[in-house]
Amino acid sequence: GQQVMQIPQYQHVQEGEDFTTYCNSSTTLSNIQWYKQRPGGHPVFLIQLVKSGEVKKQKRLTFQFGEAKKNSSLHITATQTTDVGTYFCAGLNYGQNFVFGPGTRLSVLP
Amino acid sequence: EAGVTQSPTHLIKTRGQQATLRCSPISGHTSVYWYQQALGLGLQFLLWYDEGEERNRGNFPPRFSGRQFPNYSSELNVNALELEDSALYLCASSFWGSGRETQYFGPGTRLLVL
């Protein structure tokens, strides 16, 4: 079955540093979504990417979808303590269900 | 607009008992997904219901089952509870078929099996 991997598993950064998490699927995806889960909370939808090579920005967050629609990345510029949490990617198979990656847990040291 | 709601928020059971968890999707959403999230771990896909039918299930034993009602709310049943079933159970809803499916998660039910 489809597998979605994320690296790194954990990332500790100093406030102000940049952060990137990578998501890789074993199969081609129809779209990919990113979610953030704060400690003790539930996943919250961040963004959806649909087109090959698509790049979207949300303030300090930049999301990319690979040309082959099998990988994606989330980059945060100048992290803040409010960025703390676990970032999940979720790949949607054509006609199938979402498959979530294991997540990257980000901690930001003030 | 009300978000996804789940009940109960917390549930304590003993081994061998049965647990029933409930989820109400966002109005207009026809799909409901169930996930298990053990402490500090990722989301493990359990079940997906759409328009009252089970569309897919994850790699979980048959004692995990559920259903979706005509009003699109859903129930997750876990029979013969085991200690390792202790986890946060998340429900999410979406409108399937739009090509822009986004999952909206509820706050979850924390199940503790003693």
What per-residue confidence (pLDDT) applies to B85? 97
A45, A98, A100: residue with CB nearest B104: A45
What per-residue confidence (pLDDT) applies to B27? 93
Q: Give the separation between CA B12 and CA A55, rounded to whole angstroms.
A: 45
What per-residue confidence (pLDDT) applies to A107? 97
In sequence order, which residues have a C-beta less than 8 Å from that of residue B20 and are 6 or more positions away? Answer: B75, B76, B77
Evaluate whether B17 touches B81 at the Cβ level (below 8 Å).
yes
In chain A, which residue ranges form alpha helices assigned H by DSSP?
A: none
Interchain contact, A97 vs B41, CB within 8 Å: no
A41, A48, A103: residue with CB nearest B42: A103
Residue with tokens 């200690």: B83
- Per-residue pLDDT averaged across B34-61, rounded? 90
Interface membership of A103 toward B (CB under 8 Å): yes
What per-residue confidence (pLDDT) applies to B86? 97
Interchain contact, B42 vs A44, CB within 8 Å: no
Interchain contact, A98 vs B108, CB within 8 Å: no
- Per-residue pLDDT averaged across A69-93, rounded? 95
- Does the structure show a pLDDT above 90 at A86? yes
Evaluate whether B27 touches B1 at the Cβ level (below 8 Å).
yes
Interchain contact, A100 vs B42, CB within 8 Å: yes
Interface membership of B60 toward A (CB under 8 Å): no
Per-residue pLDDT reduced to its tens digit, B87-107: 999 999 988 666 657 889 999
Q: Which two tokens stand for residue B12?
A: 């304590």
Using DSSP's 3-state secondary structure scheme, residue B56 falls into: strand
